[in-house]
């Protein structure tokens, strides 16, 4: 399946890959990724979006800057402008894991975005991180560098509890203790314990327009994504807001609460075998994890369809979108 042409940052003001469905579709999703817009995750997500019947543009930091640090949200703004110039009348955004943070933050700043999908997202701006190999580590934090910037200024962020190389050492220790290939829930809990979350570090989700779709699982060991979503729901309940929203919180699913159709693009064969090897929490719950992903797949298919044809209600209080499952 064709996934379009790679666009360099210097050409259009963003680094990304656009995959249109056909000339008769006038809605598009921006898909935020943190590895590379030319990588297999971005291409898999684009193929998924095309199967959902929507144009899609994967954006990411430049290939030369692995990780997620000082990412200018103006690049998402430029992506919106590009999509509108291609004839797209409706613009949505999707983010999985840390890019879910970027999707939420961008949507809170850009009113042209009218559908925001964030799966296992933080509700705050994270400190930036690098995935280059430094002193034998797989990842290290920035030197108190924000993950996001806006109008050339770093957004306030929650600092990590640990510096290099202790940051990676704690990650490895927790993963071994839990029996997972990767885990960092304790790291984030300790970061909030040492530095209670400040208002300026929280994503202003109440400023997002249109509709928000959130999902996470209780057995997530990368961070407590269900706690983060519950805080966002509380914020929306307490503050005037510009959107409707729905939150789907599952008992099983791990950090990979991605649509079944999308994860099958990432891993065409053996996801049910691979998942328990990555996350101990999935052992004995293969069926439940798959049902979570299938529920998200069907839910997003319905949401995207209604958003495209104009039947998705985006007026607060006039439908049943405010719910948890």
What's the rounded Cα separation, in Å, for the pair 227 and 294?
A: 22
DSSP strands (E only) in 79-226:
90-96, 113-119, 127-130, 140-146, 148-150, 153-154, 210-217
Q: What angle do CA 221, 46, 2 make, to 5 degrees?
A: 145
214-240 pLDDT, tens digit per residue, is 999 999 999 999 999 999 999 999 999
Write the CA distances from 243 to 52, 85, 107, 233, 312, integer angstroms. 23, 25, 11, 12, 12
Question: What is the per-residue burial (b if ≥16 Cβ within 10 Å, else e) of 141-150?
Answer: bbeebbbbbb
What's the rounded Cα separation, in Å, for the pair 320 and 237?
A: 14
DSSP-derived letter for residue 138 is S
pTM of the model: 0.95
- Residue 137 contacts residue 122 (beta carbons within 8 Å): no
Per-residue pLDDT of the chain (325 residues; tens, 9 = 90+): 677 778 887 789 999 999 999 878 999 999 999 888 889 999 999 999 999 999 999 999 987 778 899 999 999 999 999 999 999 999 999 999 999 999 999 999 999 999 999 999 999 999 999 998 889 899 999 899 999 999 999 999 999 999 999 999 999 999 999 999 999 999 999 999 999 999 999 999 999 999 999 999 999 999 999 999 999 999 999 999 989 999 999 999 999 999 999 999 999 888 999 999 999 999 999 999 999 999 999 999 999 999 999 988 755 443 334 445 5
């Amino acid at each position: 399946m064709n996934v379009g042409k790679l666009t360099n940052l210097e050409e259009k003001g963003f680094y990304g890959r656009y995959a249109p469905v056909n000339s008769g579709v006038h809605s598009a999703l921006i898909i935020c990724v943190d590895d590379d817009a030319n990588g297999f995750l971005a291409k898999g997500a684009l193929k998924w979006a095309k199967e959902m019947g929507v144009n899609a543009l994967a954006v990411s930091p430049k290939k030369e800057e692995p990780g997620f640090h000082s990412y200018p949200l103006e690049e998402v703004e430029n992506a919106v402008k590009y999509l509108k110039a291609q004839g797209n009348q409706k613009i949505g955004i999707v983010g999985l894991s840390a890019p879910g943070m970027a999707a939420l933050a961008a949507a809170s700043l850009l009113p042209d975005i009218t559908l925001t999908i964030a799966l296992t997202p933080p509700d705050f701006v994270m400190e930036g991180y690098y995935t280059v190999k430094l002193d034998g580590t797989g990842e290290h934090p920035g030197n108190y560098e924000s993950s996001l910037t806006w109008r050339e200024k770093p957004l306030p962020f929650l600092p990590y509890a640990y510096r290099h190389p202790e940051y990676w050492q704690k990650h490895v220790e927790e993963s071994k203790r839990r029996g997972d290939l990767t885990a960092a829930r304790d790291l984030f809990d300790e970061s909030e314990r040492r530095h209670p979350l400040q208002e300026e570090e929280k994503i202003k989700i109440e400023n997002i327009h249109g509709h928000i779709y959130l999902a996470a699982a209780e057995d997530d060991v990368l961070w407590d994504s269900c706690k983060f979503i519950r805080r966002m729901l509380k914020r929306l309940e307490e503050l005037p807001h510009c959107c409707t929203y729905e939150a789907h919180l599952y008992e099983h699913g791990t950090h990979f609460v991605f649509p079944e159709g999308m994860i099958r693009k990432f891993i065409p064969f053996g996801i049910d075998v691979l998942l328990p090897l990555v996350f101990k929490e999935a052992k004995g719950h293969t069926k439940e994890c798959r049902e979570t992903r299938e529920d998200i797949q069907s839910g997003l298919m319905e949401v995207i369809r209604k958003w495209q044809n104009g039947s998705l209600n985006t007026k607060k209080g006039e439908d049943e979108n405010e719910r948890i499952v």
